[in-house]
Amino acid sequence: MRRRFAIFANMNTHVVIMAGGIGSRLWPLSTPDVPKQFIDVLGVGRSLIQLTVDRFAPLCRPENFWVVTGEKYVQLVKQQLPQIPADQILAEPEGRNTAPCIAYASWKIQKKDPEANIVVTPADALVLRTAEFAETIGKALEFTEERDAIVTVGIAPSRPETGYGYIHAAEALRGQIVKVSEFKEKPDLDTAIGYLEDGHFFWNAGIFVWNVNTIVTELRSYAPQIAGVMDQLAPSLFTEKEQQELRRLFPTCEKISIDYAVMEKSPRIYVIAEDLAWSDLGSWGSVMTHLKADEDGNTAVGQDVRLFDCNNCLVHVAGEKRVVVEGLDGYIVAESKDSLLVCRLSQEQHIKEFSA
């Protein structure tokens, strides 16, 4: 019998939500003005960033949540997450990828709580097995609280997916924390099939757990340019000069992901792998797999969507308008307030080009 793990909101647990992306593959629903993390993509009454906070609520006190986002999205964060302290909504003057984003949050948190134990997560993923997720994160937090270690969350793959990076752990066992052997880039289909058959490769969900001193030390070791910028910024943190100094200094940070900057270099990387029914909802096809389909394989979000002689279609509309679709097979029909997309599902990888 599987032992249940005790879950509680430790006063030193902090959750950093990265919410700066624009979700261009979900156009026209997701746009640079209102990207997918702020949208109710699945028609459940909660945006993706709100669902992210919901699933971490058993582990983290409301006052210990942080959101790193673009300056233009600060008001959206305040509207959707009013429980998060205003000075913990961190506004990047420009996107510099995840390493500077994480460094900024880490320097802030270390100044406020030098004993902090941190989870870093994207804002726009979906996790259906929320109880198992909270248990998994709880184990990782317990592990990093007293160790100089980084734990990344691996997702047991359900298919040979070519759109995700992978984590390889030669001694991996579900629910246990083990050393990472290596990180793998997005594979071709044959390689992905091999990963699935091997059983020791896991999707990289981009969720990381560490104590604040560990990540600051690792950034100093493997991303010294970024750490140097943060040290220049440090005297202004939590002062009226912070945003001014951030605008001056942050754009000088090297533009690099945390994976390249730290995860692929550090010897302190571990993984905990589980089947969490996770998805990054990075495409219309992935959204479709999480919506209930009718007998003809059609899925829909909208108050009055009517499909006739349609098969394997996704219709996503807002508001109370009536939408009627007839005679389509394998299409996306999606709208925003000023744009409409009608596109074959097989061609969705070109949506970024179509909408440019």
pLDDT at 348: 93
Contact 102, 250 (CB under 8 A): no
pTM of the shown model: 0.93
Amino acid in position 208: F
pLDDT at 21: 86
Residue 36 lies in a domain: yes
> Looking at 253, 279, 305, which one is the last position of a domain?
279
Alpha-carbon distance of 153 to 252, in angstroms, equals 30
pLDDT at 3: 47
Same domain, 85 and 190: yes
pLDDT at 8: 61
Alpha helix ranges (H) inside the chain: 48-56, 74-80, 98-112, 130-145, 189-198, 212-222, 224-233, 242-249, 258, 284-288, 351-354
Q: What is the mean pLDDT of each run of 10 residues along the chain (356 residues)?
A: 57 96 90 94 94 96 96 97 96 96 98 97 94 94 95 92 90 83 92 92 95 98 98 97 97 96 94 90 91 96 95 92 95 92 94 86
Alpha-carbon distance of 305 to 298, in angstroms, equals 11
Residue 4 lies in a domain: no
> Looking at 279, 299, 332, which one is the last position of a domain?
279
Residue 252 lies in a domain: yes
pLDDT at 58: 94
Total domains, the chain: 2
pLDDT at 156: 87
Identify the sign of the CA torsion 342, 348, 352, 354: negative
* Domain CATH for 146: 3.90.550.10
pLDDT at 62: 93
pLDDT at 9: 73
